[in-house]
Amino acid sequence: MTTHSKGTALVFGGSRGIGAAIARRLAREGYDVALTYVSRPDDAATVAAAIEAAGRRALAVRADSADAAALQDAVAQVVGQFGQLDLAVINAGVLRLGPLDTFSLADLDQTLAVNVRGVFVALQAAAARMKDGGRLVTIGSNTAIRTGSPGSSAYAMSKAAVAALVKGTALDLAPRRITVNNVQPGPTETDMTSALREHVVPRVPLGRLAEPEEIAGLVAYLASAEAGFVTGASLTIDGGFVL
Ligand SMILES: NC(=O)c1ccc[n+]([C@@H]2O[C@H](COP(=O)([O-])OP(=O)(O)OC[C@H]3O[C@@H](n4cnc5c(N)ncnc54)[C@H](OP(=O)(O)O)[C@@H]3O)[C@@H](O)[C@H]2O)c1
């Protein structure tokens, strides 16, 4: 049975991994959920079907986070179809690894385009169309504070930028009662970490990677009414990760 919608959420990068878990969780919480993807329309359609199976409206939009116009258009489409925007989760991100001396500028540009510029534009576009009192959540990384291993400098830099961006944005949007927070996962079971598993598990005191659903749970908290006084925060969820 379909109940009254809790509101409308947009998950940037919602087709796989952590973003897909967030989209599914928000649907179970009662949100109508839109998601963006860039390369996996079939995965996006699977997540959209799960949202509808939970009794909510779904919308999957192809929007490369490196393309500002595509992000702005995605937000416009969501507001056009759902009528409002209450929550945006900026999850899309890329992981390019390599030591400083050989790291290519193409990889640097892609890292910054998606993980930093894309986050800035998504925050800007979502805030512009969001109702007052809405919620913005970014997905950073614990590498912003605990850069785990050589070869992760550009990625860590990009995620540290997100943490700083969220602090500033929270101040900008406080007059509109929009909260802005950053979730910093540690190693999580997704496609992004499949090749790194053996390397990172020994560094996690809890002895395992996070499940994407555990990251989604923290996002659901930040979206909830009881998190109304949390803003500008970067919340790390990494099993006690050590260097
Ligand atoms: N997994 C971890 O251990 C971990 C730890 C800390 C932080 N994070 C962060 O958590 C977020 C999600 O990571 P994940 O592990 O779930 O990654 P993932 O399994 O590789 O999935 C990435 C998601 O982002 C989307 N995406 C990637 N580039 C995009 C672009 N240019 N435009 C639009 N969408 C794009 C993908 O869409 P397609 O399916 O269409 O390609 C997919 O939905 C990232 O920001 C990542 O940095 C992950």
Per-residue model confidence as pLDDT tens digits over 113-124: 999 999 999 999
pLDDT at 159 over 60: yes
DSSP state letter for 229 = T
| Residues 71-100 pLDDT 10s | 999 999 999 999 999 999 999 999 999 999
Rounded CA separation 166/200 (Å): 27
Whether ligand 1 lies within 6 angstroms of the CB of 37 is answered as yes
| Residues 220-242 pLDDT 10s | 999 999 999 999 999 999 999 98
Which residues is 11 bridged to in the sheet?
Answer: 35, 89
Whether ligand 1 lies within 6 angstroms of the CB of 39 is answered as yes
Whether ligand 1 lies within 6 angstroms of the CB of 117 is answered as no
How far is ligand 1, taken at its centre, from the CA of residue 238, in Å? 17
Nearest one of 220, 227, 221, 238 to 24, comparing CA atoms: 220
Top mutation candidate among 90, 190, 204 for ligand 1, by most atoms within 8 Å of CB: 190
Rounded CA separation 73/63 (Å): 8
Residue 191: Cβ-neighbour burial (10 angstroms; 0-12, 13-18, 19+) = exposed
Q: Whose CA is nearest to atom 37 of ligand 1?
A: 37
Rounded CA separation 184/135 (Å): 17
Mean pLDDT to the nearest integer, 139-143: 98
Stretch among 55-69, 165-179, 193-207 having the lowest mean pLDDT: 193-207
| Residues 169-202 pLDDT 10s | 999 999 999 999 999 999 999 999 988 888 899 9
Q: The tokens of 143 are what?
A: 């590498």
Sign of the alpha-carbon torsion through 28, 134, 119, 5:
positive
Asked if residue 146 lies in contact with residue 243, where contact means CB atoms within 8 angstroms, the answer is yes
pTM: 0.98
Catalytic positions, written as ranges? 155
Domain 7-237 annotated CATH 2.40.50.140 = no
User: Which ranges in the chain belong to alpha helices (H)?
Assistant: 17-29, 41-53, 68-82, 105-112, 118-129, 153-173, 197-200, 212-223
* Domain residue limits, the chain: 7-237
What per-residue confidence (pLDDT) applies to 2? 61
